[in-house]
Amino acid sequence: MKQSYLKLSVAALMLASMQCSSLSASAQVADSMEEATLKPKPAEPFAFGDFTWVQGTNRQHSSLLDSKYFTGGLTIDCNYNYSFNHPIDHSTSGSTATFRSDEFNLSYVEAGGEVHDPKSGAHAKLMLQFGTRATGIPRNDNTTLRGQYDLANALRYVTEGYAGMHFNKMHGINLDFGIFKSYVGLLSYNNFENWNYQPSYTSDNTPWFFTGARLQMFPTEKLKIEIWAINGWQSYGMFNEMPGLGYQLLWRPNSSLSLTHSSYFGWDTPNTPDRLRFHTDNSAIVRYLNRPTNKFISKAAFSLTGDLGFENGAGVVPFNGTAATPAQNFLSLMAYNRFWLGKSQQFAFTCGGGYINNPGRYLALLPAGNGVMTQNPGDKFEGWDASANVQFMPNEYVTFGAEFVTRHTNVPYFSGHGGVTSPNGWNAPIGNPTGYVADLVKDENRIILSAIFRF
């Protein structure tokens, strides 16, 4: 009797325990469902649409080297840049995309990745660069001449190198410190992301990188607000004693429209701390046709960019200058139209161009050679360019391109047949630049053949 009673008691306890556990689990599920209902997880920024078609944006839908804690990246960009001027030193002037002509060139190698911890929000990114762009683009930063240490060699092989924190507030907040890419001028530093290979003057003469701190805030899934506190206008160091400040707004109200507005001001003239620089950059990218099943033109979009800037103080004024106080300003426009062909969209055709007017030449890319192009206050500089290309994209990792570019300026600016570095080269033993005067011309036509691989 006692044993039967004990067995019944144990069974009753076990049943009660199971019922309590079931009720507890049900309560937890109910609480979780209620919490999810009351506090829905904020949507990822810009995840509501496919923006891989946007000029200056990666067209890949996912990274081949992605994992929970690390996302890797590798880009190899090769070109053959044929110049109708045939400079004998094979040098290209006034471009940040091509630096060699009439020969095969390894233009850009980018390798690295980002480490990210989903729990703490800590992240760090390091992307290294090699190729001719690794020396060609830092050449335009004169802050490396100020101070004892060789900043150009210390940092020229880094395209992005920063660490920071991600905060789960609003739709995301990022705070980063280091070197990061700038998208002032719309086009991307990485040509795999661009509709065209040779940037127009607007992109060529605006920053490709910033050094300092940035704060990215996403109040909604359709809006990004980015604030910069940086050393200066595309600079590793600081020329004067004040940092540069700026911001960028990116708004994508739907999957067919992307609007960008940026503004910057700083004190960036060498040894001229009282001269202020201001610059604003504005772009609209519109997809006006999207019919994926069409056999001829399945998608079409255009980009329109306008920049306005000026310098003021220390002997110059923004506009309406005189011989005593010249005007220094920057006005540029560029527009491109792109067609994706066929259902597969493996072929695309892009045409466009731009205009620049930059009295004072304070942002113009100077050709090689001593004193071949001055940057005195009020010096005139005006130009226009046009291009057309065809791209073949057999998959998300490869882009082949063929592009024709014509560029023109009001002053001699481009490499002529005599070159810009002396008949045989830049330095002894094959060259002797002593007494040599660069051969600069006002017109340039080139054909660029490119192959870009990105993983």
pLDDT reading at 152 higher than 90: no
**Neighbouring C-beta atoms of residue 38, cutoff 10 Å:** 7
Q: How many CA atoms lie within 13 A of 440 on its CB side?
A: 21
Query: What is the C-alpha radius of gyration for the chain, rounded to an integer number of angstroms?
Result: 28
State CA 198 to chain mean position distance. Answer: 14
Task: Using a cut of 0.85, tell me whether the model's pTM lies above it.
Answer: yes
For the segment(s) 81-102+173-454, the CATH number from 1.10.287, 2.10.25, 2.40.160, 3.40.50 is: 2.40.160
What is the SS3 assignment for 325? coil
Q: Which two tokens stand for residue 277?
A: 């620089």
pLDDT at 265 over 70: yes
In whole angstroms, give the CA distance from residue 157 to residue 337: 33
Q: What is the pLDDT of residue 110?
A: 97
- Which secondary structure element, helix H or strand E, spans residue 204, and what is its range? helix 201-204
Q: What is the pLDDT of residue 428?
A: 66
- Taking only the tens place, the pLDDT of each residue in 430-451 is 667 777 888 999 999 999 999 9
Distance CA 173, CA 191 (A): 27
At residue 26, does pLDDT exceed 60?
A: no
Q: Given a cut of 60, is residue 28 above it in pLDDT?
A: no
CA distances, 409 to each of 300, 329, 337, 440 (Å): 31, 17, 23, 11
The rounded distance, in Å, linking the Cα atoms of 207 and 192 is: 18
